[in-house]
Amino acid sequence: MKNITKAVFPVGGMGTRFLPATKSIPKELLPIIDKPLIQYAVEEAIEAGIETLIFITSASKHAISDHFDPMPDLREKFAKNKPHLAEKLDTLPLHVKRVFVPQGQPLGLGHAVLQAETLIDEDEMFAVILADDFIQSDDNPLKPLIQAAENSQLATISVEQVAQERLSSYGVIAPKTWEKDVTQVSDIVEKPAVADAPSDFGVIGRYVLPHAVFDYLKQTQSDKSGEIQLTDALFSAMKGEGLQAVKLNGQRFDCGSQEGFVLANLHVAMQDEDLKHSINQALRSN
């Protein structure tokens, strides 16, 4: 088996919860303070050994490509007097490749992942990263998934315990027996009613998948809303070779929601002494 060096970033979503901001700005470019969500996700991937970034895009997302373009003229200008700004323009190391694949129609996460099929070799596993799951952790959240997937060759997903009332916003698994932070999965359901949830472990937007998942995706029927769900293909993988889950070690913010986005910004701001001071002052005076 090859090393895991490719990651798929589905970025074709509409970002309706952030309209009107997302009329012209892809939701993945919304910043946590000064850095867009997609850049955090890309940095995490590169740190975990990813060398090819596959963006599954919609027509209006050219700004994501622009964000990762080098700006040699401006860089040179800043390099003399403002080197700290010059560094901020380096959004992608030179060895990393970018590929942009149009999704065509917004037919769900599973459909988005399927668009990467021709870019992944038969004997290759690949990562899928949802940039709006913003993760703060001392350890890279993707690395343990890659390690578990390399050891087992199984589709491997990231999970965390989610409050009951939020379970119906996520894929939810039934774990078998945890060995440290890894378990085999005996059930997975997309956005169940709370009463039907097989546990309180929700799926987070980090996956490492084998090529076989494309076959399962092609056999997956659209759901009631016309979308092809990745979760349904993972259910088939579970019934076939098996599926495993790794507990997230870190704090996740659901930046697909306004609440999660604001909390993520606050969390990162509080790590900066100046911003922390201003925020604490502002809160005290309220």
Interface residues with ligand G1P (CB under 6 A)?
109, 130, 133, 170-171, 190, 202-205, 229-231, 256
Looking at the Cβ atoms of 185 and 278, the one nearer to ligand G1P is 185
User: Across the chain, where does the E strand assignment appear?
Assistant: 6-10, 31-32, 35-36, 52-57, 97-102, 126-129, 133-136, 155-161, 171-175, 182-190, 201-209, 243-247, 251-254
Q: How far is the CB of 31 from ligand G1P (least distance, A)?
A: 19
The answer to whether the beta carbons of residues 17 and 8 sit under 8 Å apart is no
DSSP tag of 178: -
Nearest alpha-carbon partner for 144 in 114, 169, 179, 191: 179
Shortest distance, position 285 Cβ to ligand G1P, whole Å: 36
Specify which residues 190 forms β-bridges with. 171
Q: How far is the CB of 49 from ligand G1P (least distance, A)?
A: 23
Q: Which DSSP symbol is given to 85?
A: H
Given the complex with ligand G1P, which of 120 and 230 has the nearer CB atom? 230
Smaller CB separation from ligand G1P, 36 or 256: 256
Nearest residue to ligand G1P, by Cβ distance, number only: 171
To the nearest whole angstrom, how small is the minimum distance from the Cβ of residue 275 to ligand G1P? Answer: 27
Closer of 113 and 146 to ligand G1P (Cβ): 113
On whether the CB atoms of residues 54 and 99 are closer than 8 A, the answer is yes
CB contact at 8 A, 208 and 197? no
Neighbouring C-beta atoms of residue 207, cutoff 10 Å: 25
Contact (Cβ atoms closer than 8 angstroms) between residue 141 and residue 250? yes
Helix (H, G, I), strand (E, B) or coil at 151: helix
**Distance in angstroms (rounded) separating the CA atoms of residues 187 and 211:** 21
Closer residue to ligand G1P in complex, CB, 41/203: 203
Q: Which residue has the tokens 């890894």?
A: 182
In the complex, least distance from residue 27 CB atom to ligand G1P, rounded to whole angstroms: 11
Nearer to ligand G1P, 75 or 247 (CB): 247
Quote the least distance from Cβ 40 to ligand G1P, whole Å: 15
**Shortest spacing between CB 56 and ligand G1P, in angstroms:** 13
Enter the tokens of residue 245: 């889950």
Cβ nearer to ligand G1P, comparing 154 with 245: 245
